[in-house]
Amino acid sequence: MPRALLSVYNKSGLVELARGLTALGWELIASGGTAHILDGAGLNVKTVGQVTGAPEMLNGRVKTLHPILHGAILARDRDEDYAELSAYGITPIDLVVCNLYPFREAIQRPNISLAEALEQIDIGGVALLRAAAKNFPRVAVVCDPNDYQSVFAALKLGTLDEHARRALAVKAFAHTRDYDTAIHGYLAGEAEGGLVVDERLSLSLELVETLRYGENPHQQGAFYAPQGVGMLGGTLLGGNKQLSYNNMLDLDAAWRAVDLFEAPSVVIVKHLNPCGVASAASADVAFSLALASDPVSAFGGVIALNQVADAAFVEAMGDLFVEAIAAPDFTPEALDLLQRRRKNCRLLRVDPLPQAPFELRSVRGGMLVQTVDRGDPAEAAWQVVSRRAPTNSEYAALRFTWQACQAVKSNAIVLARALPEGFATVGIGGGLPSRVDAAKLAVEKAGARANGAVMASDAFFPFSDGLEVGTAAGVTAIIATGGSVRDDEVIAAADAANAALIFTGVRHFRH
């Protein structure tokens, strides 16, 4: 008679599987709560204690860690192993059905204590899965309730061959790998905080969606994320078309940018660079200001707003072609309008996520890891280095422009203005090898709006020429990192134009 050991936290489908095994003539062994459920369902089941002769110990911490069970699982299909089992009165186990304590779900609970988290680390279950998976040539291991039906069907037909058992073993080892990775990540972060510089970096990501293609049609693409995280950490609410690889990059860039602001704000992104950023009293007004920054580039872009998208916001969009919109939520009226008028526009509700302590980028042969740039550190000290200090209006505009500049690819130059409705960019130059060329592009985009605008540079001016491009166009105040060997030359150029100049002492490169 074949024997199955069942020890599961997730009881979904358990009774149905056990009934099926019993009907096929299998003997059932179960631990703790699993045995209780099966017994309550009227099934004939032996407890682990009845098989091992040992009681559960330490409030259930020790129940399946016993040589009788592990010997029964690890015995290979050969005479000498069976003889040894027989000498100890052990009968082989042919199927292990096991899933683990919900550690990853537990640590998502707010204010969970370290002691509570430790109690959710499964020991016996992991050992059972690894033992059965190691011995897959003889033993089948099932760790996912979604596999119960197919495994039972194969057992019934006699088709659960070594190839099928190997696939189940691969899944079990992936399960225990991801489980240990989550524990390692939690304990390392608990101990150190922030970026943990360890000898090994372990990632546990699951396939969320296979994409139509990558950046180009001849490339393959897919999106992976930690367990339970949806598309870009959010939920797709609308759009007949699948999000593309490039859409996801642009949405990520747009959300990162708009998340820098506390006031109602809108960011329009095209090819990973903002082409319009604005803050106002409401999202619809902010959108109109952001669109005016560069309406040509905005065509076919993505939009992110840090407020709930309402009907007024949708009406403000007019007939602009937009690939996707990201927002904390959408009102029912806004959803109805968008789904009727823009059936192909993807709508992403950005769900709350814990702040990631670090970010990753792939490079040839490995990964780069860094802590996330969340804006100026608290200790940053801005200094007015020009003869003329900024006016209150200029100072407010400079703060907005400095934040907007942090979302633009380096070299980054941003021109913006304080307007009656709020603040908005009027010219953006980003992603250029030369800072003076970035300044020229920003001024060109701004046109006449450069007169009276303020300027931000994501890093220091290596020469005075970039600043002079701005002041020649009418820029009245500038904010930059400072720290160049030619800072005196840059300050002198600001003074010569009677422009205010602030050095932040903080750089915000974005490559």
pLDDT of residue 190: 46
Kindly state the helix (H) or strand (E) to which residue 503 belongs, with its residue range: strand 500-503
CATH number of 3-192: 3.40.50.1380
Fold type of domain 383-503: Cytidine Deaminase; domain 2 (3.40.140)
Mean pLDDT of 71-87: 90
Active site members: 134, 271
Question: What b-and-e string marks burial along 1-36, b requiring 16 or more CB atoms within 10 Å of the CB?
Answer: eebbbbbbeeeebbeebbbbbbeeebbbbbbbebbe
Tokens read off for 199: 């000898």
pLDDT of residue 191: 40
CA torsion angle 228 232 235 239 (round to 10)? -140
Q: Are 475 and 431 in contact (CB under 8 A)?
A: no
Percentage of the residues of the chain whose pLDDT score is greater than 70: 96
Tokens read off for 314: 């949708």
CATH number of 256-372: 3.40.140.20
Mean pLDDT of 464-490: 97
Kindly state the helix (H) or strand (E) to which residue 207 belongs, with its residue range: strand 206-210
Matching fold, domains 3-192 and 383-503? no
Nearest to 426 by CA among 440, 405, 454, 446: 446
Whether 353 has a pLDDT exceeding 90, the answer reads: no
Q: Are 55 and 30 in contact (CB under 8 A)?
A: no
Residue ranges of domains in the chain: 3-192, 256-372, 383-503
pLDDT tens, position by position, 372-405 = 888 888 767 899 999 999 999 999 999 999 999 9
pLDDT of residue 60: 67
Contacts for 34 with CB less than 8 Å, ≥ 6 apart:
6, 7, 8, 11, 14
What count of other Cβ atoms lies within 10 Å of the Cβ of residue 121?
17
pLDDT of residue 189: 66
pLDDT tens, position by position, 130-171 = 999 999 999 999 999 999 999 999 998 888 899 999 999 999
Cα 277–331–305 angle (5° rounding)? Answer: 15
Tokens read off for 222: 């897919």
Using CA of residue 275, residue 277, residue 283, residue 286, what is the dihedral sign? negative
